[in-house]
């Protein structure tokens, strides 16, 4: 099985030992508390689940800057995006050596993790903007990722953590949320050797479904892991429970039995385009996938990134040998009226735009909102029905 990033074994930071877990829970009640931002809480969940192996906690400023500059921490460990705990106010934890990290996304703000504080450093606005430029390739406050990044605060609290729960993800998505440890174990149980992962923050239309079939066929994969983001999105994106239902229906009807695992992970979307594509590849290696589909404008938003920047970054910027997982590069896929099937547009040179069934996301949302199913060449009717019901519920 493919090795995790940076170690022979996966080292999740969740405390599985019952006695230790109980002791930490008790200790946390007497420790100074810090309320995390949603992004820092999501980082803790990913560290707890083993997705961010081999990291042991939140990065200090030097490590985060190194990652922004050349995708390496000061020790030389490859990592594509800073994993930080930023805050506006450190008055409650100023001289503390150990603190309880509290969850902003669950009522009552329960303790999410216990942390050994190694450093509290203040960053200037200039430093935060410089980091934003490296991560997001823009400092435009209209970019949802930049806006979230800059709103967190100027203090970086760094050090190792021990994670005590998985926030709301385990309770809200019990059938879908899985740690990297659990996915790795299931891949092994199924006897899959070659596994391709597909990232999604949206429902899957016919082109996405066919892209997964193409990748499986061309790579000779035993299985596909559809791995959906379950955390915070930008306004207007379809909520996770609706996406989950739509994807499950599609897999049940249009994939062979025992060929697909439908899973999700607890992270907030960064919309960081190329850098986020590399992050996606890193944690898919940690969960045991051997291949990862990177499509057109992967993890992008608006017009901030070129159509294939998220693919060329693997050639131009990722250090040689940093990743063992292999990238399956996908072009825009669409239904060809000439060939009566979904194809990659780059593989149909004799086609003009009019030969494809192309609908913008805005147009599709309009149709669904009006109770109109997109054409069967664009979306499976069973999937469209679930989405129509969701849009109907918004208007009722």
Query: Does residue 299 contact residue 272 with C-beta atoms inside 8 Å?
Result: yes
Q: pLDDT digits over 316-343, tens only?
A: 999 999 999 999 999 989 999 999 999 9
Residue 201 bears catalytic tag: yes
pLDDT for the residue 236: 78
- Which CATH number, 3.40.640.10, 3.30.565.10, 3.40.50.620, 3.20.20.370, labels domain 175-395? 3.40.50.620
Q: pLDDT digits over 23-72, tens only?
A: 999 999 999 999 999 999 999 999 999 999 999 999 999 999 999 999 99
Residue 17 has pLDDT above 80, yes or no: yes
Q: pLDDT digits over 385-394, tens only?
A: 999 999 999 8
Confidence of residue 159 (pLDDT cuts 50, 70, 90): very high
Residue 234 has pLDDT above 90, yes or no: no
Q: Choose the catalytic residue: 98, 154, 202, 329.
A: 202
pLDDT for the residue 160: 98
Q: pLDDT digits over 97-154, tens only?
A: 999 999 999 999 999 999 999 999 999 999 999 999 999 999 999 999 999 999 999 9
**CATH number corresponding to 18-170:** 3.10.400.10
Mean pLDDT, the chain, rounded, equals: 95
Range list for CATH 3.10.400.10 in the chain? 18-170
Confidence of residue 274 (pLDDT cuts 50, 70, 90): very high
- Return the C-alpha torsion angle 362, 368, 374, 379, nearest 10: 90
Enumerate long-range contacts of 372-380, CB under 8 Å, 24 or more apart: 374/205, 376/206, 377/206, 377/335, 377/337, 378/205, 378/206, 378/207, 378/335, 379/205, 379/206, 380/205, 380/206, 380/209, 380/249, 380/250, 380/253, 380/254
How far, in Å, CA of 24 to CA of 114, rounded? 7
Q: Choose the catalytic residue: 201, 248, 329, 365.
A: 201
Residue 271 has pLDDT above 90, yes or no: yes
How far, in Å, CA of 134 to CA of 147, rounded? 14
* Lowest model confidence (mean pLDDT) among 15-24, 237-246, 264-273: 237-246
pLDDT for the residue 362: 81
How far, in Å, CA of 278 to CA of 331, rounded? 17
Average the pLDDT over 370-382 and give the result.
94
Q: pLDDT digits over 200-217, tens only?
A: 988 999 999 999 999 999
Range list for CATH 3.40.50.620 in the chain? 175-395
């Amino acid at each position: 099985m493919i090795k995790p990033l940076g170690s022979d074994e996966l080292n999740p930071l969740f405390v599985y030992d019952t006695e230790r877990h109980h002791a930490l829970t008790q200790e946390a009640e007497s420790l100074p508390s810090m309320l995390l931002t949603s992004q820092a809480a999501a980082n803790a969940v990913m560290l707890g689940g083993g997705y961010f192996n081999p990291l042991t906690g939140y990065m200090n400023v030097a490590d985060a800057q190194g990652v922004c500059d050349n995708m390496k921490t000061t020790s030389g460990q490859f990592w594509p995006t800073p994993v930080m705990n930023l805050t506006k106010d450190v008055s409650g934890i100023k001289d503390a050596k150990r603190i309880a990290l509290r969850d902003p996304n669950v009522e009552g703000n329960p303790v999410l993790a216990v942390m050994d504080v190694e450093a509290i450093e203040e960053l200037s606005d200039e430093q935060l903007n410089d980091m934003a430029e490296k991560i997001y390739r823009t400092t435009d406050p209209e970019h949802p990722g930049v806006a979230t990044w800059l709103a967190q605060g100027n203090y970086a609290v760094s050090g190792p953590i021990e994670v005590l729960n998985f926030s709301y993800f385990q309770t809200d998505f019990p059938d879908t949320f899985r740690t990297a440890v659990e996915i790795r174990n299931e891949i092994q149980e199924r006897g899959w050797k070659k596994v391709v992962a597909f990232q999604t923050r949206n429902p899957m239309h016919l082109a996405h479904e066919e892209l997964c079939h193409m990748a499986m066929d061309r790579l000779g994969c035993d299985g596909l892991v559809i791995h959906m983001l379950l955390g915070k999105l930008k306004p207007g994106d379809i909520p996770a429970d609706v996406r989950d239902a739509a994807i499950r229906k599609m897999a049940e009807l249009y994939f062979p039995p025992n060929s697909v695992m439908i899973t999700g992970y607890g992270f907030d979307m960064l919309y960081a385009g190329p850098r986020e594509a590399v992050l996606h590849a890193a944690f898919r290696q940690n969960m045991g996938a051997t291949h990862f589909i990177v499509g057109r404008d992967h993890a992008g938003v608006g017009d901030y990134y070129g159509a294939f920047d998220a693919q060329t970054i693997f050639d131009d910027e990722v250090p040689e040998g940093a990743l063992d997982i292999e990238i399956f590069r996908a072009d825009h896929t669409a239904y060809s009226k000439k060939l009566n099937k979904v194809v990659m547009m780059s593989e149909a040179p004799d086609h003009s735009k009019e030969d494809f069934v192309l609908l913008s996301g805005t147009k599709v949302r309009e149709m669904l909102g009006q109770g109109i199913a997109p054409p069967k060449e664009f979306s499976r009717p069973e999937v469209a029905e679930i989405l129509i019901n969701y849009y109907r519920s918004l208007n009722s």
